[in-house]
Chain A
């Protein structure tokens, strides 16, 4: 036993000495740092053997830290990380979930541009994102600014604005499809009686060219309360002195917004836009529930990427192809997030 220990100690020490030589010879500071860290680790291992401790202090510290992370990380790794990697692999395979999978190369991706339904889904998703992100941002910012003023019943207004976010989608889409019902709904009834729109020209909110507009309006309505809270938190971080200084300089409300509020909220806006973009690309349930009709199927005017991913996976069992579409979704989110990161960095420099 002791002999073994001695041999191991010997080995560690020679290793440490060799590293010392390397460190002296190394010019690159980064690499030098790495080597030093490595040597320290070896040294501490050697020390712990010398002092007859089973594990070093560092190892113990690491273990405690890992024990904190483990419960979450194990679940996270098994149920999120592995499937993500699996998804990347799957995009290059042909698999129906039962028979043996085969390697497909890029053929799944090659199919995409010719697929009418994919192209329609992509187009609709992009329109939806481009429509929803700015509108929600503006609406929630405006609401946050108004609610940040000294007004009565602030809490009440804030709660009400947050209601749609909390409400379940199934319930609230059921209400929307009644309110916007093409021939019986109150909205079209108002258009017919008050605004004198001809019965033949009443808008068909859930089909054709209007359906995406309805989806966008619905999302703005539902999610603006959520982003308003984030903006509200951002606004509360702006020091009042800035506004006082602005008043002294004779700035009007609009100028104060332009030169104080907006720049101060830049990082909040960045966060809001990134989250909004990610969430908008995920759109599925809103489309199915508002435009799906009785059978939940979407026609080319309302189909979205996630719907098509679902269709290919669970109806056609073309798992590779569905994963390839998912990759397109991911790439778009990634590119947009990176562009925003770049932009944010550039401005803050």
Chain B
């Protein structure tokens, strides 16, 4: 009697667990569908003709005659290559500078003692809460005075020295035991060497996280380039795409082909680095 009750209870518990699992998968699939359908739509529309894009009855994902030449035409309709070149250049330089200078400064904040340390760090922290839009106008006026208007260099200056990067790297370095550095110092290593030989190799997760953040935000930035980059030969892919949409509003297939192309680099970077990503976020104290 007792035995059967127990096994009944056990069974019902098991059933509940299975039901729960099914429920979880159902929710997950639903969310995944919401997340991915717009991207599938984008891919599908990029090989359709303009009339097929909005054809609902019947709706097909892959048209009978896929228009692959959308992917070729888009390069000639707008100077896409130039836009890609500019964006790649900007993104790589900004990401590189950001990683280098942030990790450099963060090492100092995390592992060294010096005068005005707290005041300097406070200056960084205070600006994290300051939306860029608050000071974009004075910043622009200043840059123009420096002759940086309509120069890619302006975008580099703007994005390469963020407070966020220093903050993120500092949080990570603080998690590395100080004894490591102390031991190296006793061995007579200079601070620069300690940074290069000990800290940097340890900070892969944090660097990956920062790379993803910087890469994504630079590649996808819109308002910054809109304000600073005016002539067509300086424009980034986001501005170029927006310009194209303005001019060829009804060429849906081409617009979508351009959109797909603009996504590829970020997605590659993300997929390459994502295995460090959650670890990086966890160890950089971003979780709070």
Contact = CB atoms under 8 A, between A and B. Distances in A.
B102 A72 contact: yes
Contacts of A305: 133
A77 B157 CA distance: 11
Nearest to B267: A166
Interface stretch (B4-12, B65-73, B74-82, B255-263): B255-263
Nearest to B102: A72
Nearest to A188: B56
B138 A87 contact: yes
Contact of B35 (A65, A66, A163): A163
Given A61-B112, A267-B288, A294-B246, A175 B132 contact: no
A35 interface: no
Contact of A326 (B135, B163, B270): B135
B53 interface: yes
A83 B142 contact: yes
B261 to A, nearest CB: 9
Which DSSP category, helix, strand, loop or mixed, fits chain A's interface?
helix
B238 A169 contact: yes
B287 A233 contact: yes
Contact of A146 (B28, B104, B161, B286): B28
Contact of B138 (A161, A171, A185, A323): A323
A69 interface: yes
A233 B282 contact: yes
Given A170-B238, A267-B288, A81 B109 contact: no
A310 B132 CA distance: 12
Contacts of B104: 68-69, 71-72
Interface residues of A, number: 97
Contacts of B105: 68-69, 71-73
Given A172-B38, A236-B282, A285-B222, A76 B124 contact: yes
Contacts of A84: 127, 130, 134-135, 138
B137 A333 contact: no
A160 B163 CA distance: 29
A81 B262 CA distance: 33
Given A160-B32, A167-B263, A237-B287, A71 B282 contact: no
Given A62-B114, A66-B114, A75-B101, A314 B227 contact: yes
B120 A69 contact: yes
B133 A61 contact: no
B54 interface: yes
Interface stretch (A109-117, A130-138, A176-184): A176-184
Contacts of A62: 114-115
A82 B25 CA distance: 51
Contacts of B114: 61-62, 65-66
A178 B161 contact: no
A330 B108 contact: no
A90 interface: yes
B274 A80 contact: no
Nearest to A281: B131
A71 B135 contact: no
Contacts of A211: none
Given A68-B104, A164-B35, A172-B38, A329 B219 contact: no
B58 to A, nearest CB: 12
A83 B143 CA distance: 10
A97 interface: yes
Contacts of B28: 146-147, 151, 157
A127 interface: no
Contacts of B127: 76, 80-81, 84
B238 A160 contact: no
Nearest to B252: A178
Interface string B31-64: 1101110110110010000000110100100000
A174 to B, nearest CB: 6
A64 B108 CA distance: 9
Contacts of B138: 83-84, 86-87, 90, 323
Contacts of A229: 277-278, 281
Interface in A214-235: 221, 225, 229-234
Contacts of A151: 21, 24-25, 28
A175 B38 contact: yes
B1 interface: no
Contacts of A164: 35, 38
A268 interface: yes
A230 B25 CA distance: 22
B27 interface: yes
A212 B120 CA distance: 40
B288 A272 contact: yes
26 contacts: A61-B114, A65-B114, A69-B108, A71-B100, A72-B166, A73-B120, A76-B166, A78-B157, A80-B135, A87-B137, A147-B28, A151-B24, A164-B38, A168-B266, A172-B38, A175-B256, A175-B259, A178-B54, A233-B281, A234-B282, A284-B223, A289-B242, A294-B246, A306-B223, A310-B223, A319-B137
Given A83-B135, A84-B135, A175-B256, 18 more contacts: A75-B101, A75-B157, A80-B127, A83-B139, A90-B138, A151-B24, A151-B28, A159-B270, A161-B32, A164-B38, A169-B238, A170-B222, A170-B241, A171-B260, A178-B45, A284-B133, A309-B136, A326-B133
- Nearest 8 pairs of A and B residues by beta carbon: A171-B259, A75-B161, A271-B288, A68-B108, A233-B282, A83-B139, A65-B114, A86-B138
Interface of B: 20-21, 24-25, 27-28, 31-32, 34-36, 38-39, 41-42, 45, 53-54, 56, 59, 100-102, 104-105, 107-109, 112-115, 117, 120, 123-124, 127, 129-143, 157-158, 160-163, 165-166, 191, 195, 216, 219-220, 222-223, 227, 237-238, 241-242, 245-246, 249, 252, 255-256, 258-260, 262-263, 266-267, 270-271, 274, 277-278, 281-282, 286-288
